């Protein structure tokens, strides 16, 4: 690959060190230190956005790693960031899953990624270029997209090559770090028995559930796990989990047992 052919001997040794260090990352701080260390030699950036999930359904989670003050994962708005990540993911797919660059003028990426007037708006407004690359998960449909933003116009062919070569190691490092507490709702607590939420007067309106949610709930009623449901419906267990979180919210319950109880009670009432 041309990326390696242009590297001096000392940089080749440094790249091998970067690879070795990626395998040792276990915590968020270690990921931050690694990305801000020798990785900067090959892929200079000030903000790295990692998005993952089911982009076709818009079920996207993200991490943001940056030394800039105020640029933190839990401070970014999902409604603003998710559409941006989804657009870039489909652009990446359209061009044959190759890394691509974005260059912007004054104002940077502020309007795409942050609310006007916030500290984040100012930080993203200083960004002038981005390099985008993704990973398509053909088995689990847990696709990933990475966007490296810089205040410099660094989006050239060498940067794209560096992103392509480094991304497997960046992805590996991220997968070795646990999720932040705010990224996923806690797992529903186990229930000793089926018990409908509330005082039992409210009934489930099946029309509020999508056809996919209704289908998944039916398989839950039959005792299938998320992994089994995913295999049956040809979707990932991650996607099943996200559907169930929506079902819990719509039915006003906190776990699978309560959702099934509400489901069954509703249809007993309909037949009565």
For residue 49 the two structure tokens come to 């956005």
Is residue 77 predicted with pLDDT exceeding 90?
no
Q: What is the pLDDT averaged over residues 239-249?
A: 89
Q: What is the pLDDT averaged over residues 39-43?
A: 94
Which of helix, strand or coil describes residue 121?
A: helix
* pLDDT band of 267, cuts 50, 70, 90: low
- Among 7-21, 45-59, 204-218, name the one with the lowest average pLDDT: 204-218
Predicted pLDDT at 197: 35
| H or E segment and range at residue 61 | strand 59-65
* Residues 240, 243: Cα–Cα separation, whole Å: 5
* Residues 52, 98: Cα–Cα separation, whole Å: 17
Which of helix, strand or coil describes residue 134?
A: strand
The CATH classification number of 206-271 equals: 1.10.10.10
Interacting residues of 32 by C-beta distance below 8 A, sequence separation 6+: 65, 67
The per-residue pLDDT for range 183-220, each reduced to its tens digit, is 554 343 333 333 333 333 334 444 477 878 888 888 89
Write out the residue limits of the CATH 1.10.10.10 domain(s) in the chain: 206-271
Write out the residue limits of the CATH 3.30.450.40 domain(s) in the chain: 2-175
Give 180's Cβ-side CA count (13 Å radius). Answer: 13
Average of per-residue pLDDT values in the chain: 82
Is residue 95 predicted with pLDDT exceeding 50?
yes
Is the CATH number 3.30.450.40 carried by domain 2-175?
A: yes
pTM for the model: 0.69
Is residue 271 predicted with pLDDT exceeding 80?
no
């Amino acid at each position: 690959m041309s990326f390696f052919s242009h590297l001096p001997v000392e940089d080749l040794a440094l790249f091998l060190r970067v690879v070795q260090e990626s395998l040792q990352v276990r915590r968020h701080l270690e990921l931050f230190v690694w990305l801000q260390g020798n990785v900067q030699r090959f892929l200079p950036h000030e903000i790295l956005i990692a998005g993952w999930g089911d982009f076709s359904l818009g079920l996207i989670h993200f991490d943001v790693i940056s030394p800039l003050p105020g640029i933190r994962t839990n401070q970014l708005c999902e409604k603003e960031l998710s559409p941006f990540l989804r657009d870039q993911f489909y652009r990446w797919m359209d061009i044959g899953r190759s890394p691509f660059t974005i260059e912007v003028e004054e104002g940077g990426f502020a309007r795409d990624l942050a609310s006007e007037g916030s500290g984040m708006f100012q930080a993203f407004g200083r960004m002038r270029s981005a390099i985008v690359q993704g990973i398509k998960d053909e088995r689990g449909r847990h696709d990933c997209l990475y966007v490296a933003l810089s205040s410099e116009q660094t989006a050239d062919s060498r940067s794209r090559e560096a992103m392509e070569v480094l991304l497997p190691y960046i992805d590996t490092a991220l997968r070795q770090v646990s999720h932040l507490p705010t990224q996923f709702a806690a797992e529903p607590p186990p229930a000793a028995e089926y018990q409908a939420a509330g005082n039992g007067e409210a009934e489930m309106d099946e029309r509020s559930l999508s056809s996919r949610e209704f289908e998944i709930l039916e398989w839950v009623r039959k005792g299938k796990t998320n992994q089994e449901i995913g295999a049956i419906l040809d979707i990932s267990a991650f996607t099943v989990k996200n559907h169930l979180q929506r079902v819990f919210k719509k039915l006003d319950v906190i776990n699978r047992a309560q959702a099934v109880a509400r489901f069954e009670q509703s249809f007993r009432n309909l037949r009565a």
